[in-house]
Amino acid sequence: MKILVIGSGGREHAIIYSILRSRKNVDLYCAPGNGGISDNAKIVNIKYDDIDGLLNFALSEKIDLTVVGPEVPLSLGIADKFLHNGLKVFGPGQKAALLESSKQFTKEFLKRNNIKTADYQSFTDFKTAYAYIQNRSHPVVIKASGLAAGKGVFIPQSIIESENYLDLIFNKKIFGKSGETVVIEDYLEGFELSYMIAADGKTYKPLATSMDYKKAYDGDKGENTGGMGSISPHPYLSAALEEKIKKNIIEPVLLSLKNEGIIYKGILYAGLMIKDDDIYVLEFNVRFGDPETQSILIRLKSDIVGLFESCIDGTLNDYNLEFDNNQAVCLVLSSAGYPGKYETGFEISFGEYEKYFNYSGNNDIYIFHAGTKKIGNKYFTNGGRVLNICSKNKDLKTALSDIYNAADAIQFKNKYYRRDIGNLGISAIKV
Ligand code: AMP
Ligand code: GLY
């Protein structure tokens, strides 16, 4: 069986690891991949936004299954194009991907279907937006409507901060086209939770739960990042709350999409705010979260290829999705400066940890590559988030000491990581 994975991050490396664990006889390709992935799959040098290039490759290589990691190709309609050409592809179509690629679309969709979300207004010019924020009590939440790699949301504490940010988006165009429409919404206080499900157009199954550490620095300080670490299961998600999330959010969303002619197949990630007794939608992603997926997939007991196929074929009901009972953690090693400016090109020394590049068995430590490249037999930093160190254990403390020992031992210039991943008292303090 020939499988093509699209993407180049730790999430894609974890997906590749899960495929290798599930199936012995696969011919794996990854476009464009990274240094670590090049050890496990054939690298295809096509960028993930080159949809025609990827289509031509999949057709000429007779790829049996394509798994799309990031949101950009989904928002460009890769799933529709592949399906139209008779190719099996895991990931929702372009219309469904609007749930991530247009915050304005999502807000309108939620409002017209009576699904709870913060009140908002959208704007397409500086002057009107500026006039609007004059009369708002702060903080407010300002969001670029389009894709911004997780960096398009800012929470100004004052009118001056709002003005500066609106100036950056509308006048300095820091997000380009993605900032042409801006959503300004009410600030909600509560505790945050993300919830992922797999859907096949008829039914859905929840993935294991997880908690993401979004901020750059310890104690949830600093800027929002793509994610600096994760743990699974989520330590505070009760069965009762999970039931409520399904009934109040997941099921109405899937049904409302269907009523509007959108059959959702793939992973749906709901970013939620729990405030008193209410659950509000902050955002959707139309794909696996990164780095939540890394913690979740090392606990997966079922065959991931079967999961992808059953979502595509509409047979998810018959598929048994199981996770083990371990506590899993994932720590992101990044280049200092991320999510702002950072330098790359530094050699990575793994020492004894290179042995964890063997993904065929049940490891106690897993090293997934994100922003790395391989030259000869050496690995170099090549991005903001460089490596993901993951571990699982019945005891969270043991898993944490495993990853932090590895994080200290693995060396590269400008290495930075949060010291408090797994600290339940901090990210969950608002519970
Ligand atoms: P989003 O990409 O929309 O999930 O926003 C990124 C982050 O901004 C979220 O994870 C929250 O921490 C924060 N955020 C977004 N919307 C709101 C809101 N309405 N109230 C408070 N915080 C928010
Ligand atoms: N970790 C959040 C995301 O994948 O967008």
For each successive 10 residues of the chain (431 residues), what is the average pLDDT?
97 96 92 96 96 98 98 97 98 97 96 96 93 92 88 89 92 90 92 93 96 91 91 90 96 97 97 91 96 96 97 97 96 96 97 77 83 96 97 93 95 97 62 38
> Which domains, from first to last, does the chain contain?
2-99 (3.40.50.20), 119-186 (3.30.1490.20)
Ligand 2 lined by 289 (C-beta under 6 Å): yes
Paired with 217 in beta bridges are 221
Report how far ligand 1's centroid is from the alpha carbon of 153 (Å): 7
Nearest ligand to the CA atom of 151 = 1
pLDDT of residue 223: 86
Q: Is 338 exposed, middle or buried (0-12, 13-18, 19+ CB in 10 A)?
A: buried
**Residue the block writes with tokens 């780095």:** 291
- The closest residue, in CA terms, to atom 7 on ligand 1 is 153
Report how far ligand 2's centroid is from the alpha carbon of 1 (Å): 30
CA angle 36, 40, 46 (to 5 degrees): 75
- Using alpha carbons, list the distances in angstroms from residue 335 to 218, 339, 383, 384: 16, 9, 7, 5
- The ligand 1 atom nearest the CA atom of 271: 4
CA dist 414 and 346 (Å) reads: 8
- The ligand 2 atom nearest the CA atom of 212: 1
Half-sphere exposure at residue 29, Cβ-oriented, CA atoms within 13 angstroms: 19
Report how far ligand 1's centroid is from the alpha carbon of 325 (Å): 30
Tokens of 150: 């997780």
Helices assigned H by DSSP within 266-336: 292-297, 304-313
CA dist 230 and 329 (Å) reads: 6
- The closest residue, in CA terms, to atom 3 on ligand 2 is 289
Please check whether residue 68 is in contact with residue 91, taking contact to mean a CB–CB distance below 8 angstroms: yes
Q: CB 189: neighbour CB atoms within 10 A?
A: 9
Ligand 2 lined by 285 (C-beta under 6 Å): yes
Residues 6+ apart with CB under 8 A from 317: 200, 202, 203
Q: How far is CA 183 from the centre of its chain?
A: 21
Out of 153, 292, 330, 338, give the residue to mutate to test ligand 2, the one with the largest number of ligand atoms within 8 Å of its CB. 292
pLDDT of residue 426: 46
CA dist 198 and 286 (Å) reads: 10
CA dist 428 and 20 (Å) reads: 34
CA dist 420 and 220 (Å) reads: 9
Amino acid at 78: I
Paired with 366 in beta bridges are 390
pLDDT of residue 424: 72
CA angle 47, 99, 283 (to 5 degrees): 105
**Which of 112, 97, 98 shows the shortest CA–CA distance to 265?**
97
- The closest residue, in CA terms, to atom 2 on ligand 2 is 289
Q: Strands of 201-346 (E only): list them.
A: 204-206, 211-212, 215-217, 221-224, 229-232, 265-275, 278-285, 327-335
CA dist 53 and 81 (Å) reads: 12
- The ligand 1 atom nearest the CA atom of 188: 20
Amino acid at 399: A
Ligand 1 pocket list (CB less than 6 A): 118, 141, 143, 153, 185, 187-188, 192, 214, 224, 271, 282-283
Residues 6+ apart with CB under 8 A from 160: none
Please check whether residue 189 is in contact with residue 253, taking contact to mean a CB–CB distance below 8 angstroms: no
Q: How far is CA 361 from the centre of its chain?
A: 25
Name the pTM for this structure. 0.94
Estimate the share of the chain in helix, then strand, then coil, as percent rounded to the nearest 5: 35, 30, 40
Q: How do strand 278-285 and strand 265-275 relate by DSSP bridges?
A: antiparallel
pLDDT of residue 360: 59
